[in-house]
Amino acid sequence: MSELYLVITDGTTTCTIADGAGGATAYRLKYGGWSPHIAGLRASELGGRGSFEDVTETFILNVHGSSMADAYTKIHALQTLVEQAERFGRGEIVSAVVIKYSPPDAAVSSAASPLQACVLGGSITLPGDISTAHPQAVIVGVRLQLRRTGQWLHTTETAASAATDNGEVATISLTACDIVSPSALLIRNIAKKDTANSYSDVVVLQAGSVADIQIFPANYLLPATNFSAFYDTTNFPLSATVLRYTPSSTTEQYSGGWAIDSVGVLAIWLNVRNNSSTTAFKIRAHYSNGRMESYTPHVVIPAASGPRWYFVGLIANTVSNAIIRLACTASAASGTLDIDGVALINTDSVDYGCVVIKQPCGYSGNSESIDHRALTAIQPYVGASWTEMRSSYQGDAYLTSRAATMYYALLQTGSDGATIHWRATLGGALIQNTWTLTRTTGYMVMR
Amino acid sequence: MSLFVGIYDSPGGHLIADYSPIARDLVFSTNEHGFADLSFRVPLRLSETFRLYDRPGLPHVVVAAGGAIAWEGRLEDASITDGGLYLKALGYQRALSDIPYTALWSTTSYADWRAMTADDRPNTRTEKFEVDNNNRLYIALKKNETYTTATHIGRLGFVAPAGGVRYLKTVSFDYKIYLNTGYTFALVSTSGGLGGSQTAEFSVLGSGALFGGSANVTLTNSAADSLRVEINPATNTYTGETGDRYIKITNLRIKTTTSAAVYADEIARALVEYTHAANSAQIASETVLIESPALDMTDEIYLDRYPSDILNTLIALGDNAAPPRRWEWGVYENRLLHLRPRGSAGRVWFVDAVSLEVERTIDSVRNSVYAVYQDRNNVPQRTPLAADEDSVTQYGATRRAAISAQTTSATQAGVIRDTALSDLKNPTPRATLRFNMLYDAAGARWPGWLCRSGDTITIRNLPPTLNDDARVRTFTVAETRYEADTRTLQVTPESPLPRLDVLLARLGEKI
């Protein structure tokens, strides 16, 4: 039968409220002096901090010292941590202050392996009789308020994928979580653009089911008038041929359709190359569920550009067997537009994640990290894994997940030369990426 | 799908800061010209606030959900407050208000032509001729005037706006020439003003007989900024009556494009090129989203006007459809200018309003209208009344308006009257609506930030008995404002552009 464990620490200064063994501590929780809060889902749509609201905990403590002077010193230590937490919460570069917790008779946590949350600030209110010397050197009824991150984090679990061709879906299996939990990624073999290499920005996609992430060759969208299959194996497409659009006019023309089953708001990415030096193209996706139709906004493909992955837009699907097509418009009835891959990802899934890492990023043979840093920093980290070298990015880098099997895809074009291949290559071979997922199991209540 | 708010040193540049975890009160909006503004607070130390406050350049602000851009713009205002930094960014539509634009595109005006003197160009003796530019260009010989060839030349000149960015390309006109043998009529272009280097573009020799024709001259001078028409006389004394020998030019049009017509899309593309050349990190150079209203504009001269003002003028004219459609220009993601029919790229949404403020007033209602115009003798006239009986019944009163019509045509005044009645017969509600959920026709739920100006919204939870003329149940969105902290979308319905305004704008352009 374990006892309450409750500690506030930055790794250097530690204020122990309960030691997990029922022993006497300097900061003793008054009986009934803490009603733990359970965080709700975050109301704000802004990312970077996970899915749950911060909560404010209030503790009523009796602070014991060997003398009143020592009791004041104890208060001072607590105040130091609270101030540091406040600075941390503002984004200042100070060490994180965490609250460690294991309830009595815990099923999951223990004093050796407690639940943890970051403290983001707080305040201390001393009792009204503070000026009265207490013969036992106790300051009774100190009110400590701490604002903490809403989710209690526990142990981590790490698993890796097999080496997976760039542009294809990698799979990682680990233990399912009850609720979404912070998930850090390590991606090996992201290729860096420089004067000699033509690698593109990197799109990282995360999903929690195979239905929620689909990557398929665009030549599935055949047959259709003015669309054909173009043999392009030398440029490493997803299959031997890519979908070629040869405009016969400047009016919008449609590819064939592709049935989708995933229900939710789906993000569409296309890998596109404009072969014309003069004709620009517009692309948008057309969605039809048999009763209603909708379009994504136009995406402009400049002349003589690509291959490059473009975000085309969002479609909301409510039924199985809905059809998407591509609608292409040329600025002149000349030139050709090639489309290799189509990537669909369900953004409504709780396991959804998407981060676009901008060049320059990665190094051949080395790893890029997307790390929530939930217990160590106020902001997530995207950058080199072997040193603190941040990359530019777009998207919520505080990835979370809960599924037992996670699916990942890395979308990148280019090569270690001037030729831009449909998928990133090195030395004439497709780059393979290895994904390592470290998930920190999260709880909302005492476990 | 959570939102990311990042600040980059430039579009496509390096990430300066990811403020997603600490941003407060993030609000962003769209209006009829695309992404409008964005603001948020960031709690920072004073030293860190100055990092952004004092930073050179124009940082690029992005609100994104994965690859989807919810809003982007440039960081224009940073203010330091007690709690940190308050940042305000404006959409790239602002880039079209950075640099004024001066150019002539097309003119049919004779008023900008003037009689040249020897100060303009040697051998000019226009005072020896009778000239005028009243709805024509006219140069005639004077009785008993002695002329010397190549020395006593009569000239009318035209100069494009100083500092304009376009050269003259084509001149079209009808002409009548009645000159004796030895006299020559010529159209000459010059570079560097009327006194600059010249290129003969068109000429006709006098034959002693009256003849006429039409000309459409593409200038060979690729840097022409001025034109003149002239009579180079034979050396003699003219003894005929003044005005018996002349040249007369009518139906004149000067363009700075070789296109047969001047459409708004060509002007818009030129504005993009001009703006991009000056600030390449602002408006993108691609022009694929610019569509053509196919409306030929004969008089387009812009003097020190911002491109945004010019675009406002262009869209006010509508297009060649009947009736003319309303157009829009704006800038959304990737800093691309679009010019297209209003709402043509809009989406259709269905919502359940959680907060509704609608004010209906009959203050603006006029359901009986007549027009006031002047006849050819400048005597004020009034058209017969036109009334909308449905509106009179609905609102329980006849509310009459007199519309001033700048015309001498009773027919035209009637058209203006009827258009005004159509605009004014129903009230335009002033409304603000807030909701948390956005649905499409299939009932699928969408993120609220996807709603933009130009989209169409239908409020599902209003009484089905509501009069459709109230323009409340279904409306085009004029402005959106999204509060990320509460995931709340606020929209303002669009007031229909008065068709009378379009009509009058087109009349002003002789369309």
CATH of domain A212-347: 2.60.120.260
φ, ψ for residue B508, nearest 5 deg = -60, -30
Is residue A362 scored above 90 in pLDDT? no
Domain A5-150 classification at class level: mainly beta
Q: Whose CA is closest to A172, among A352, A367, A351, A407?
A: A407
Provide the residue ranges of all domains of chain A, joining segments of one domain with +.
5-150, 154-209+349-447, 212-347
Q: Name the minimum distance, in Å, from the CA of A106 to any CA of chain B.
A: 31
Is residue B304 scored above 90 in pLDDT? yes
Do B21 and A91 make contact, defined as CB atoms within 8 angstroms?
yes
Which residue range(s) make up the domain with B214?
Answer: 104-255
Kindly state whether residues B114 and B246 are assigned to the same domain.
yes
Spatial separation of the C-alpha atoms in residues B70 and B28, rounded to whole Å: 9
Tally A–B CB contacts below 8 A: 167
Residue B416 included in any domain: yes
Nearest CA in chain A to B482: A45
Mean pLDDT rounded to a whole number for chain A? 92
Number of domains composing chain B:
5
For the beta carbon of residue B134, count every other beta carbon within 10 angstroms. 8
From the number of C-beta atoms within 10 Å of its C-beta (0-12, 13-18, 19+), residue B290 rates as buried
Q: Residue B419: what pLDDT?
A: 74
Write down which residue in B283, B308, B341 finishes a domain: B341
Kindly state whether residues B139 and B35 are assigned to the same domain.
no
Q: Whose CA is closest to A367, among A185, A195, A193?
A: A185
Half-sphere exposure of A201 (CA within 13 A, CB side): 19
Kindly state whether residues B288 and B166 are assigned to the same domain.
no
Chain B residues within an 8 Å CB radius of A392: 8, 13-15
Kindly state whether residues B83 and B110 are assigned to the same domain.
no
Kindly state whether residues B148 and B281 are assigned to the same domain.
no
Q: Which residue has the tokens 């363009």?
A: B255
| Optimal mutation site among B2, B14, B451, interface A, most CBs of chain A within 10 A | B2
Q: Which residue has the tokens 């280019």?
A: A414
Do A311 and B66 make contact, defined as CB atoms within 8 angstroms?
yes
Q: Residue B307: what pLDDT?
A: 96
Is residue A445 scored above 70 in pLDDT? yes
| Optimal mutation site among B20, B52, B440, interface A, most CBs of chain A within 10 A | B20
Spatial separation of the C-alpha atoms in residues B56 and B374, rounded to whole Å: 59
Mean pLDDT rounded to a whole number for chain B? 88
Nearest by CB to A267, from B2, B66, B332: name it: B66
Binned at pLDDT 50, 70 and 90, residue A289 comes out as: confident
Check for a shared fold between A5-150 and A212-347.
no
Kindly state whether residues B148 and B227 are assigned to the same domain.
yes
Kindly state whether residues B324 and B225 are assigned to the same domain.
no
Kindly state whether residues B109 and B250 are assigned to the same domain.
yes
Residue B352 included in any domain: yes
Residue B130 included in any domain: yes
Kindly state whether residues B251 and B265 are assigned to the same domain.
no
Q: Residue B511: what pLDDT?
A: 59
Q: Name the minimum distance, in Å, from the CA of A234 to any CA of chain B.
A: 28
Q: Name the minimum distance, in Å, from the CA of B448 to any CA of chain A.
A: 10
Mean pLDDT computed over A325-331? 95
| Optimal mutation site among A46, A321, A323, A371, interface B, most CBs of chain B within 10 A | A46
| Poorest-pLDDT segment among A126-130, B209-213, B478-482 | A126-130
Q: What is the sign of the dihedral through the CA atoms of B384, B385, B389 and B393?
A: negative
Do A298 and B345 make contact, defined as CB atoms within 8 angstroms?
yes
Q: Residue B362: what pLDDT?
A: 74
Kindly state whether residues B20 and B75 are assigned to the same domain.
yes
Residue B306 included in any domain: yes
Q: Residue B311: what pLDDT?
A: 95
Residue B97 included in any domain: no
Q: Residue B451: what pLDDT?
A: 93
Nearest by CB to B444, from A45, A317, A392: name it: A317
Kindly state whether residues B402 and B473 are assigned to the same domain.
no
Mean pLDDT computed over A342-360? 92
Kindly state whether residues B281 and B331 are assigned to the same domain.
yes
What pLDDT digit, counting tens, does each position of A59-117 carry?
Answer: 999 999 998 899 999 999 999 999 999 989 888 889 999 999 999 999 899 999 999 99
